[in-house]
Chains A and B, each alone.
Chain A
Amino acid sequence: MSAHNNNGVVTPAADAAISEVLEKKELRSWKAAIALGVFSLVSILLFLVFPRHGETGFRWSNKDDLISLPTWNTDAALTGQVVTVLLIILTAVVVWATLKTGTLIPRTRRIIVTAAVIVFAVAFMVAFLAWAMVGNNVPVTGLLLGTVSLSVPLIFGAMGGVISERVGVVNVAIEGQLLAGAFCSAMVASLTGSPWVGLLAAMVAGVLVSFVLAAFAIKYLVDQVIVGVVLNVLVTGLTSFLYSSVLTKDAATLNTAPRLSPVAIPGLSEIPVIGPVLFNQSALVYVMYIVVALVFLGLFKTRWGLRLRAVGEHPKAADTVGINVARTRFWNVSLAGAIAGLGGAYFTLVSVGSFQKEMVAGAGFIALAAVIFGRWDPIRATLAALLFGFASNLQNVLAAVGSPVPSEFMLMLPYVVTILAVAGLVGQSVGPAASGKPYIKG
């Protein structure tokens, strides 16, 4: 940093050395290698030790599709053998890349590992489906469509979670926000006959839950996790009570919501597989695409996002440049509530058409897990939510065809995936530094 000349006088070096970035050492992580190894063992067990014989078809399109793709028929046992070999090779690749930590360029190594993990997951899934559904057709489009359906509330919830946590308030109340949104949208849409007013009501309901969270967490500095948990219990109790004491008394006028029907986007919806899955959906799903894009761009490219993240990372620094920490937190937690509320409306205005007791059934917590799994990044959180949605849907599909895996076991699947994800299997999760910490001025 400095030069020491003959007189013992110190002069600052003229060149660039001062702003040298502190060297960072890359750490070797065996998590990916171990996970792949375990799944390789599972595939050896399933596909080589207990193989099932017969044909499995992968159906890529429905009868009335404009462009019709042929169904792939595969031999389950053969697929299993080929895939197992592939998985072992991929595991070896990841082990090699892990051993080379420090010698490989970090970026190259990350790309190799990520690509290997993705190929591994897809290959394993193909072989598993072929194995589990021998003698049946796998409705690929249906499987993906169901995934999106189940993921929509999770994604809305996760976006609410990302915003809230990024601004520094842990949002355990996503469950309550979803449930309040579901309840209010059902009732208001039934009363007004308009699903659009129902959506608005869902947002208001989510905001109201957020107000309570924000008031206690920001103004009264109550532990945010505790407020969140209590809110969930409160909303569950309140909606259940109102459901049995009000909604069921006159279900025809109060709990028969008009549903948002799918709207096919001309052109796009004709694309095989992707079209029917992504572009023949209800308006709420299109809103979701926009919300995810806006949250992502907003967080990282705009003044709103910069201030929001500053408040969540280092509230005092934000305060010293004139940003009102409490106000920023309050309104953004409210915004998070509005977005999560929309997710709740999906249950009543798209999936079911009426409110049922405790119909959210833990989706809020899975959304919270998606936030952490997605490392507080809107896009990654969305992908995580889709993964959880896929796990849930897989269980539905396998239960329907009567797979050899007990359905009780399959019911655990989404939650097992959640636990593995949150336990940091996929990498270190470091959240916003000040998330969960109340800001006390001075």
Chain B
Amino acid sequence: MKLELRGITKKFGAFTANDRINLVVEPGQIHCLLGENGAGKSTLMNVLYGLYQADGGEILLDDEVQQFAGPGDAMRAGIGMVHQHFMLVPVFTVAENVILGHEQAGFAGVLKMKEARARVREISARFGFDVDPDARVGDLPVGVQQRVEIIKALSQDARVLVFDEPTAVLTPQETDELMAIMQQLRAEGRSIVFITHKLREVREVADAITVIRLGKIVGEADPTASNAELAALMVGRSVDLTVHKEPAKPGSEVLKVSGLTVLDENGLKVVNDVSFSLRQGEILAIAGVQGNGQTELTEALLGLQQKVSGSITLNGSEILGTSVRSILDAGVGFVPEDRNRDGLIAEFTIAENLMLDRSTGAPFVKAGSVQREYRDAFATEKRTEFDIRSGSINSFASELSGGNQQKVVLARELSRDLALFVAAQPTRGIDVGSIEFVHKRMVATRDAGVPVIVVSTELDEVVALADRIAVMYRGEIVGIVPANTPREVLGLMMAGERHAEETDASAEVSA
């Protein structure tokens, strides 16, 4: 089925998320929609899927104008979507999720589950998925959940399939498998829209590429275009994708983590017997698919986790079991994974956010009252130093873009005398310009002699920043390897495979 979007415009208040967008996807084609976070890709797809109503323009399927009042209409017209955040009910079975919304039912609305199971088996057999229709979705690994999403779309016989950032939660190997599935769907003559911001994937499967920036189409590119060309289109200027850094000059050992185990509220070991050490002037990147214990590990370093055992020593003194306050005072800087929830207070101004961790005494607070002049002078200085683009230091954190919010967090955390800097997903959801800035500051921090731990699920970022890479899988570190380890090896480690080099690498570390 041929999909055509003509002049789609979508506004949220004064903000134009999509500005007269035209797009044609031919049957049997994988069309890539490439753009930075916040460029308007997802908005456009939500318009296509009937979740949003467009303010202008029209959607055509096989040259017929469509009117979608809601996702139900879009589904009936033959559009299926694999959502970035899976639209699956965790407590339902696979079959229940697949039939939801278009259930076959008999007398008094009694569901025909037997037919539903057969349908799931049939589709999964066609693609070699082997998904159990009676499995509870919440119990399945994310890669399988994504397949349930695909089955859900195909059970409605979707002729146009939209994949919204489908690789964000996958290991590199799972990504390869997904690419193969997309190619199989293409071979069946379906039209595929593939939304992503990862250049590598685009060039692998795309038949056509449309680049979108700030809600507008800024160009089309050929799949043979180089990464630099695509990146320049995406960002609007030429960008340097490589991180420039000198080889690490590791000094003395600062951090030693041994036998660290963290239990979650259900008593499960989310971090399982993790040991590593870190020296001055090096960056240890922690790679892994999201949800393999990285969050809990970094939170344990700051003393935010309750049920912990093992040992964490910073410059020789034990910090495990002490308060967050004393760990901060010991010089740990921390950029949390979710800056909106844990990094900033949205209703506070930039100046207030910048002094959040220093409300205990001079120079920010004297005799119990905040020293406004000192605070504002400090904020003004940091705003310039960290290039925080905002109206003023009195702008609310909620008014800033993701990249500028992250700079506020960085400015706060890097403005103390640090003994250790921990950054969890420091570039998630921020623009390329800010990513460059964040990377530069992290390398600068390392060069200043501070050991840095960076957690990232983006393999590109891991490889670019790391001096050494630790890969986590199901709460364990499956290996610590040098930064020049081949990607395929890292990919396998992210899927839990222990690698031979692990022993060499750890020997090197302990030497």
**Which residues of A pack against B, CB within 8 Å?**
1-2, 4, 8-10, 12, 14-16, 18-22, 24-25, 27, 298, 301-304, 306-307, 309-310, 313-314, 316-324, 433, 441-442
Interface-lining segment among B55-63, B108-116, B427-435, B443-451: B108-116
Contact A441 B89, CB 8 Å, known A8-B488, A10-B488, A24-B139: no
Q: Give Cα distance in the complex from A306 to B110, angstroms.
A: 10
- With a cutoff of 8 Å between Cβ atoms, the chain B residues found around residue A25 in the complex are 267-268
B103 within 8 A of A: yes
Closest to B72 in A: A322
- Determine whether the beta carbon of B111 is less than 8 Å from that of A303: yes
Contact A322 B103, CB 8 Å, known A25-B267, A313-B92, A314-B89: no
For B79-106 the 0/1 string (1 means CB < 8 A from A) is 0010100111111100011011111010
- Determine whether the beta carbon of B173 is less than 8 Å from that of A320: no
- Measured CB to CB, the closest approach of chain A to B502, in angstroms, equals 14
Interface-lining segment among B244-252, B299-307, B456-464, B491-499: B491-499
- Determine whether the beta carbon of A2 is less than 8 Å from that of B495: yes
B486 within 8 A of A: yes
CB-defined A-B contacts under 8 Å, sample of 19: A1-B174, A12-B128, A12-B180, A15-B130, A18-B144, A25-B267, A27-B267, A302-B108, A310-B92, A314-B88, A314-B90, A317-B86, A318-B100, A320-B71, A321-B75, A321-B87, A322-B71, A323-B101, A433-B91
The residue from B101, B108, B129, B141 contacting A321, defined by CB atoms under 8 A apart: B101
- Determine whether the beta carbon of B72 is less than 8 Å from that of A321: yes
- With a cutoff of 8 Å between Cβ atoms, the chain A residues found around residue B143 in the complex are 1, 18
The 3 closest A-B pairs by CB, nearest first: A322-B72, A321-B101, A317-B87
Most buried by B among A4, A9, A316, A433: A4
- With a cutoff of 8 Å between Cβ atoms, the chain B residues found around residue A319 in the complex are 51, 70-71
- With a cutoff of 8 Å between Cβ atoms, the chain A residues found around residue B141 in the complex are 20, 22
Contact A321 B90, CB 8 Å, known A10-B173, A21-B140, A27-B267: no
- Determine whether the beta carbon of A303 is less than 8 Å from that of B130: no
- Determine whether the beta carbon of B139 is less than 8 Å from that of A317: no
- Determine whether the beta carbon of B91 is less than 8 Å from that of A307: no
- With a cutoff of 8 Å between Cβ atoms, the chain A residues found around residue B204 in the complex are none
The residues in B between 377 and 399 inclusive whose CB is less than 8 angstroms from any CB of A are none
Closest to B152 in A: A321
- Determine whether the beta carbon of B131 is less than 8 Å from that of A19: yes
The residue from B86, B89, B105, B488 contacting A302, defined by CB atoms under 8 A apart: B105
- Determine whether the beta carbon of A4 is less than 8 Å from that of B492: yes
Q: Give Cα distance in the complex from A319 to B71, angstroms.
A: 7
- With a cutoff of 8 Å between Cβ atoms, the chain B residues found around residue A306 in the complex are 92, 96, 99-100, 103, 111
* Contact-residue size bin, chain B (C-beta under 8 Å from the other chain): 35 or more
**Which residues of B pack against A, CB within 8 Å?**
46, 49, 51-52, 70-73, 75-76, 81, 83, 86-92, 96-97, 99-103, 105, 108-111, 128-132, 135-136, 139-141, 143-144, 147, 152, 173-174, 176-177, 180, 266-268, 486, 488-489, 491-492, 495-497
Q: Give Cα distance in the complex from A316 to B85, angstroms.
A: 10
- Determine whether the beta carbon of A301 is less than 8 Å from that of B111: yes
- Measured CB to CB, the closest approach of chain A to B39, in angstroms, equals 17
Closest to B141 in A: A22
- Measured CB to CB, the closest approach of chain B to A331, in angstroms, equals 14
Closest to A314 in B: B89
- With a cutoff of 8 Å between Cβ atoms, the chain A residues found around residue B267 in the complex are 25, 27
- Determine whether the beta carbon of B140 is less than 8 Å from that of A322: no
Closest to B486 in A: A8
- Determine whether the beta carbon of A310 is less than 8 Å from that of B100: yes
- Measured CB to CB, the closest approach of chain B to A333, in angstroms, equals 19
Q: Give Cα distance in the complex from A1 to B289, angstroms.
A: 14
Most buried by A among B89, B105, B174: B89
- With a cutoff of 8 Å between Cβ atoms, the chain B residues found around residue A317 in the complex are 86-89, 97, 100
Give 13 A-B pairs besides A10-B173, A321-B152 with Cβ atoms closer than 8 angstroms: A4-B497, A8-B486, A10-B488, A19-B140, A302-B105, A302-B111, A306-B99, A314-B89, A317-B97, A318-B101, A320-B51, A322-B71, A441-B51
- Determine whether the beta carbon of A320 is less than 8 Å from that of B49: yes
- Determine whether the beta carbon of B492 is less than 8 Å from that of A2: yes
Q: Give Cα distance in the complex from A301 to B495, angstroms.
A: 38
- Determine whether the beta carbon of A442 is less than 8 Å from that of B87: no
Contact A304 B109, CB 8 Å, known A8-B486, A22-B141, A314-B88: yes
- Determine whether the beta carbon of A322 is less than 8 Å from that of B73: yes
Q: Give Cα distance in the complex from A292 to B305, angstroms.
A: 44
Q: Give Cα distance in the complex from A301 to B110, angstroms.
A: 6
- With a cutoff of 8 Å between Cβ atoms, the chain A residues found around residue B70 in the complex are 319, 322, 324
- Determine whether the beta carbon of B109 is less than 8 Å from that of A303: yes
The residue from B83, B174, B496 contacting A320, defined by CB atoms under 8 A apart: B83
Q: Give Cα distance in the complex from A322 to B71, angstroms.
A: 5
Q: Give Cα distance in the complex from A313 to B492, angstroms.
A: 35
- With a cutoff of 8 Å between Cβ atoms, the chain A residues found around residue B75 in the complex are 321-322
Q: Give Cα distance in the complex from A324 to B71, angstroms.
A: 10
The residue from B81, B109, B130, B486 contacting A18, defined by CB atoms under 8 A apart: B130
Q: Give Cα distance in the complex from A301 to B131, angstroms.
A: 22
Closest to A430 in B: B91
Q: Give Cα distance in the complex from A77 to B278, angstroms.
A: 71
- With a cutoff of 8 Å between Cβ atoms, the chain A residues found around residue B496 in the complex are 1
Q: Give Cα distance in the complex from A5 to B70, angstroms.
A: 47
- Determine whether the beta carbon of B266 is less than 8 Å from that of A27: yes
Q: Give Cα distance in the complex from A411 to B111, angstroms.
A: 46
Closest to B488 in A: A8
- With a cutoff of 8 Å between Cβ atoms, the chain A residues found around residue B100 in the complex are 306-307, 310, 317-318, 321, 323
- Determine whether the beta carbon of A19 is less than 8 Å from that of B130: yes
- With a cutoff of 8 Å between Cβ atoms, the chain A residues found around residue B486 in the complex are 8
Q: Give Cα distance in the complex from A303 to B176, angstroms.
A: 37
- With a cutoff of 8 Å between Cβ atoms, the chain B residues found around residue A10 in the complex are 173, 176, 488, 491-492
Q: Give Cα distance in the complex from A393 to B276, angstroms.
A: 63
Closest to B104 in A: A303
Contact A2 B87, CB 8 Å, known A8-B486, A22-B141, A303-B105: no
- With a cutoff of 8 Å between Cβ atoms, the chain A residues found around residue B72 in the complex are 321-323
- Measured CB to CB, the closest approach of chain B to A291, in angstroms, equals 15
- Determine whether the beta carbon of A302 is less than 8 Å from that of B109: yes
Closest to B69 in A: A322
- With a cutoff of 8 Å between Cβ atoms, the chain B residues found around residue A14 in the complex are 128
- Measured CB to CB, the closest approach of chain B to A335, in angstroms, equals 14
- With a cutoff of 8 Å between Cβ atoms, the chain A residues found around residue B147 in the complex are 18
- Determine whether the beta carbon of B111 is less than 8 Å from that of A21: no
- With a cutoff of 8 Å between Cβ atoms, the chain B residues found around residue A314 in the complex are 87-90
- With a cutoff of 8 Å between Cβ atoms, the chain A residues found around residue B129 in the complex are 18-19
- Measured CB to CB, the closest approach of chain A to B180, in angstroms, equals 8
Closest to B171 in A: A1
Q: Give Cα distance in the complex from A306 to B89, angstroms.
A: 11
- Determine whether the beta carbon of B102 is less than 8 Å from that of A321: yes
Closest to B87 in A: A317
The residue from B96, B101, B489 contacting A322, defined by CB atoms under 8 A apart: B101
Contact A21 B135, CB 8 Å, known A10-B492, A306-B103: yes
Q: Give Cα distance in the complex from A306 to B97, angstroms.
A: 9
Q: Give Cα distance in the complex from A304 to B100, angstroms.
A: 11
